[in-house]
Copies of this chain bind each other. A is one copy, B any other.
């Protein structure tokens, strides 16, 4: 027999297909231990596997979770993917992934492709520019936003406690003696995350009466490095503290500083977001605001599952879950770059 069907198993076990189906889904209406054993034996012996397409058609449930990632080159995203993958697998779900590469058009295309493929729910780490489409999608199936919000609101979001993390980095720099603080950002990055961190930074400065500013690097390496260099020189001798708003900016900062010499200019302190593997190597260790990617991933899948269960269980439009914002606390890794 080329491909076993549930009917064949039933025949071999001397029961009806319905019973085998009940066995496969361990449904209420306990069956005799004897029938159960007979069915189990036949399935074991034949290596039968139910056809997913048929189940999907009948149950309109696929156990597939769609994931759209903005930038997989960012270690935050890859860590997230690993976390999502294992959390989903633990629930018997598989991941359908799409990488937008920060291209809104690709993101939009992925959105429809994944939905068309029949995913039960969607995890979106948006690159922006598709807020309406995402909100619309959230109206049709469970959607949980990852790290980056959409303007509309109304969609679940799981993110880090960015404000506290900013405060933690400011603390570290202040404790290391920095008198003047800069938050380094990139012009091309206008994500809500960057904005939130920038706002929190400004708040922290005014709350403590510290001097400082947000420095936006122009795009394209050279200009950015020049701008940075200028900033550092401008503050020379003033006990400057620098915070890179994300790992990419930190890398550009490192490049710029490398031109000034292998170690940090006297009195310059540094801290950054995103715990990249090289953070504990460069400059003898860089103080870092690390996000708890594993917990974030777990909560994302958990929340999505809740929504999926509601959709599956509920008949009409009853019991709509209210949109929820979930903040997962990260922590500060104190390293040599902010030691006194």
A interface residues with partner B (beta carbon < 8 Å): 49-54, 56-57, 60, 62-64, 72-73, 75, 77-79, 81-82, 85-86, 89, 94-99, 101, 106, 109-110, 113-118, 251, 254-255, 258, 262-263, 276-278, 280-282, 284
Partner pick for A98 among B75, B85, B255, CB 8 A cutoff: B85
Alpha-carbon separation in the docked complex, A72 to B258 (Å): 29
**Contact B72–A97 (Cβ < 8 Å):** no
**Contact A73–B62 (Cβ < 8 Å):** no
Contacts of A282 in B (CB 8 A): 278, 281-282
**Contact B56–A81 (Cβ < 8 Å):** no
Alpha-carbon separation in the docked complex, A85 to B103 (Å): 13
**Contact A53–B49 (Cβ < 8 Å):** no
Residue of A54, A97, A101, A258 with highest tally of chain B CB at under 10 A: A97
Question: How far in angstroms is the closest Cβ of chain B from A111?
Answer: 12
Contacts of A258 in B (CB 8 A): 281, 284
**Binding site of A, secondary structure by majority: helix, strand, loop or mixed?**
helix
Contacts of A251 in B (CB 8 A): 277-278, 281
Partner pick for A81 among B79, B96, B97, B106, CB 8 A cutoff: B97
Closest chain B residue, CB of each to CB of A62: B53
Contacts of A263 in B (CB 8 A): 262
Contacts of A97 in B (CB 8 A): 81, 85, 95-97
Contacts of A63 in B (CB 8 A): 117
Alpha-carbon separation in the docked complex, A95 to B114 (Å): 10
**Contact B109–A98 (Cβ < 8 Å):** no
Contacts of A75 in B (CB 8 A): 73
Contacts of A85 in B (CB 8 A): 97-99
Contacts of A81 in B (CB 8 A): 72, 81, 97, 99
Contacts of A254 in B (CB 8 A): 278, 281
Would you give 13 A-B contacts (Cβ < 8 Å), ordered by A?
Answer: A51-B118, A53-B56, A53-B57, A64-B96, A72-B81, A77-B78, A89-B98, A95-B97, A251-B281, A254-B278, A255-B280, A278-B282, A282-B282
**Contact B117–A52 (Cβ < 8 Å):** yes
Given contacts A86-B99, A263-B262, contact A117 B72 (CB under 8 A): no
Question: How far in angstroms is the closest Cβ of chain B from A328?
Answer: 20
**Contact A114–B98 (Cβ < 8 Å):** no
Contacts of A113 in B (CB 8 A): 89, 94
